[in-house]
């Protein structure tokens, strides 16, 4: 396990900071928020943005989780992959096979058109910093609303930021959490 480059808040300090700004207590227990809560206003803004997409967003939950898992894999972010491995299955109903397919989505035979399209948008963003015009137009058709397309772009950017923070500051996995589920194979950039 890495040692964070910037010390995380102690659990009681993180809980107090979270309560003061209205971040859910269960998030304050996560190592990423124990670090983000060093900057309470920023932690609150990130919390609000992520939760607005996680619950009641315009983009299908399943598609968003595949994007997050692809980002974790492609950016070699164990923290992001590991956190969402469980969340994607237990909260949003993704299968382990679907999550594993994001590793090599272009060759996967189990992903449908919408799934492949959001993963293409993710990879384009990682490669060039933007989703191409053609992919945006296909997303508008397949996702069914401009709001879903906007949220897709926001989700890619938001969870890319989480990946960057986790990797740059060496945020460790929570105690007792197994690295790179289900098989321990690390992501590949």
**pTM for this predicted structure:** 0.96
Separation in Å, CA 145 to CA 50, 57, 66, 137: 20, 12, 19, 11
Q: pLDDT at residue 164 above 70?
A: yes
Separation in Å, CA 4 to CA 31, 46, 81, 100, 173: 9, 20, 18, 28, 10
Q: pLDDT at residue 189 above 70?
A: no
Q: What integer is the mean pLDDT of 157-173?
A: 97
Query: Are 32 and 165 in contact, with CB atoms under 8 Å apart?
Result: yes
Q: What is the pLDDT of residues 39-72, one digit of tens each?
A: 999 999 999 999 999 998 999 999 999 999 999 9
Q: What is the mean pLDDT of the chain?
A: 96
Q: Return the CATH architecture of domain 61-168.
A: Up-down Bundle (1.20)
pLDDT of residue 188: 78
Count CA within 13 A, CB hemisphere, residue 168: 8
The domain spans of the chain are 11-54, 61-168
């Amino acid at each position: 396990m890495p040692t964070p480059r910037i010390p995380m808040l102690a659990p009681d300090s993180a809980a107090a900071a979270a309560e003061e700004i209205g971040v859910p207590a269960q998030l304050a227990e996560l190592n990423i928020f124990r670090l983000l809560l060093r900057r309470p206003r920023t932690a609150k803004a990130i919390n609000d943005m992520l939760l607005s997409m996680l619950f009641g967003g315009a983009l299908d939950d399943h598609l968003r989780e595949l994007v997050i898992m692809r980002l974790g894999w492609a950016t070699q972010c164990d923290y992001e992959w590991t956190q969402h491995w469980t969340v994607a299955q237990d909260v949003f109903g993704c299968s382990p096979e679907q999550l594993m397919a994001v590793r090599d989505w272009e060759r996967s035979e189990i992903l449908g058109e919408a799934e492949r399209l959001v993963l293409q948008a993710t990879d384009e963003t990682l490669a060039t910093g933007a989703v191409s015009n053609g992919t945006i137009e296909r997303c508008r058709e397949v996702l069914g609303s401009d709001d879903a397309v906007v949220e897709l772009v926001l989700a890619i950017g938001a969870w890319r930021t989480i990946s960057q923070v986790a990797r740059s500051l060496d945020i460790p996995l929570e105690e007792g959490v197994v690295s790179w589920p289900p098989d321990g194979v690390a992501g590949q950039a």
